[in-house]
Amino acid sequence: MFTDVSVDKYKVLPAGEVQLGGEGAADKAIFDGGKKAGLAEMGVLLEEIKELQKVLYAEHKQRILVVVQAMDTGGKDGCVKDVFASCDPQGIHIEPFKSPTTLELAHDFLWRVHAKVPKNGHIVVFNRSHYEDIIAVRVKKLMEDAVWQRRYQHVIDFEKMLAEEGTTIIKIFLNISKDEQKERLQARLDNPAKHWKFNPDDLADRARWGDFMHAYEDLIEKTSTELAPWYVVPADRKWYRNIVVARIVIERLKQLNMQYPRIDWKVEDVTID
């Protein structure tokens, strides 16, 4: 069962300090119980999300943008699949962002993501996002430093505009430890059905683990805002990661006080022959 620790424990306050990896990745402060109890609880949360999404869709006034970032094997695909499993697919869109194409690189870095933001009544989940254009560019030294340094302010301004125009923004960093990544990469190597998910280049990123952690800490500290906060979610345990993200989504959706649209006719006036 849930403890009385709020899921806001994982929310990064503006100008808050962030430390990734290590102990945080295995934290389980909001839930008092093991995997089995956690999976059972997840069933309840999925029902809640389902109901909330129904109102969101019917009301057609709010937009929800969920941004998911993590290191390789961090669990982005699994988390997105599990947390939104009960949603009506008509109202939810998963948008994976890969390495930018030539056409995308011929535009500003927000061009391709802005095209995919949610419209009224919809949830859009970014599986990777505009944050790669800071993180990957910085760690892999793809452009000169001034470019990614300027982009902190660009994303803050962009998300502020989205939020003030009516989009709720939930930014999730799935925090796994370096040891957990090793196990997950090994599992991919050991299972031929998972070979397609293994990319030898991932090892190059793993070799720069420290650089990535430092860049992510910097990024999350600089771009967690009142209107678009980051949540650093312990992700070494997949079941725990899922209930945390589900709880975050539920709490943010509840704050919107969504309503089914009012009808402008009286039920008692309608007769069905």
Q: Which residues bind a copy of itself (CB under 8 A)?
A: 60, 63, 103, 106-111, 114-115, 117, 119-121, 150, 154, 157-158, 160-162, 164-167
* 3 vs 153 by CB, closer to a copy of itself: 153
DSSP 31: B
Least separation in angstroms between CB 119 and a copy of itself: 4
Half-sphere exposure of 196 (CA within 13 A, CB side): 1
Q: What residue type is 115 in one-letter code?
A: A
**Nearest by Cα to 58 from 111, 146, 122, 135:** 122
Name the minimum Å distance from CB 154 to a copy of itself. Answer: 4
Q: How far is the CB of 122 from a copy of itself (least distance, A)?
A: 8
Least distance in Å: CB of 156 to a copy of itself? Answer: 9
Name the region of 257 (left: φ>0; alpha: ψ -120 to 50; beta: rest): left
User: Please, which residue, 61 or 182, has the CB nearer to a copy of itself?
Assistant: 61
CA distances to 13, 38, 69, 237, 252 from 229, rounded to whole Å, are 7, 25, 13, 23, 11
Rounded to the nearest whole angstrom, what is the least distance from the CB of residue 100 to a copy of itself in the complex? 12
Residue (164 or 273) nearer to a copy of itself, CB: 164
Cα-based distances in Å from 235 to 21, 177, 178, 245: 10, 8, 11, 10
> Which residue, 11 or 160, has its beta carbon nearer to a copy of itself?
160
